[in-house]
Structure 1
Amino acid sequence: MSKHLKKIPEFSTETEEQQFWETHDSTEYLDWHQAQPVVFTNLKPTTKTISLRLPQHLLDSIKAAANARDVPYQSLIKIWLQEKAQGQS
């Protein structure tokens, strides 16, 4: 016996859709038994540009550490931040 599914509303923004799904059960709108696995290739996480003021000596130390590892210093900062954030959770 198939379950009657509700119609998914139209959303004007991604934020509106996120807010909707945070407060609604998707099983009322989708038959997950018919779902099939999908692979999304080349997806990159959304990034946000920030401005960060660092003392010059600290930036120089970070650049030296990045150079020793042969990676861009901004990439090294992101790696260190990710490692620290994961360690805190």
Structure 2
Amino acid sequence: MFPSFNPRPRKGTFGFTESISLRLPSYLLVRIKQLANKKDVPYQSLMKVFLSEKVDQEFKIK
């Protein structure tokens, strides 16, 4: 049914990672890629940092 599905997570910088599909507005992806280019980091790594920081922030608020 899902030939490319791999149930085993991969070890990465943030521990074990899982592949996901995420739809973003084009303008947002362009802006993220521009920021990543400016910081000289891969855009997906930058997104992980942004998400991690925001989730940590939300948990501290509650």
Common fold by TM > 0.5: yes
* Corresponding letter in the other structure for 1:60: V
Instruction: For residue 85 of structure 1, report the CA deviation from its aligned partner.
Output: 0.7
1:53 aligns with 2:26: no
Deviation at 1:63, TM superposition (A): 0.1
Equivalent residue number for residue 83 of structure 1: 53
Q: Which residue of 2 aligns with 1:32?
A: none
5+ long unaligned stretches in structure 1: 1-42
Find the counterpart in structure 1 of residue 7 from structure 2.
Answer: none
Query: Under a length normalisation based on structure 2, what TM-score does the superposition of the two structures give?
Result: 0.70
Distance in 1, matches of 2:46 and 2:20, equals: 16
Measure how far apart 1:74 and its partner are.
Answer: 0.2
Q: 1:67, 1:53 → 2: CA distance?
A: 21
1:88 Cα deviation after fit: 1.1
Pick one of 40, 49, 55 that aligns with 1:70.
40
Taking CA–CA contacts closer than 8 Å with sequence separation of 6 or more, which of the two structures ends up with the larger relative contact order?
1
Larger proportion of strand: 2
Matched pairs, number? 47
Q: Secondary structure of 1:46's match? A: strand
TM-score by length of 1: 0.50
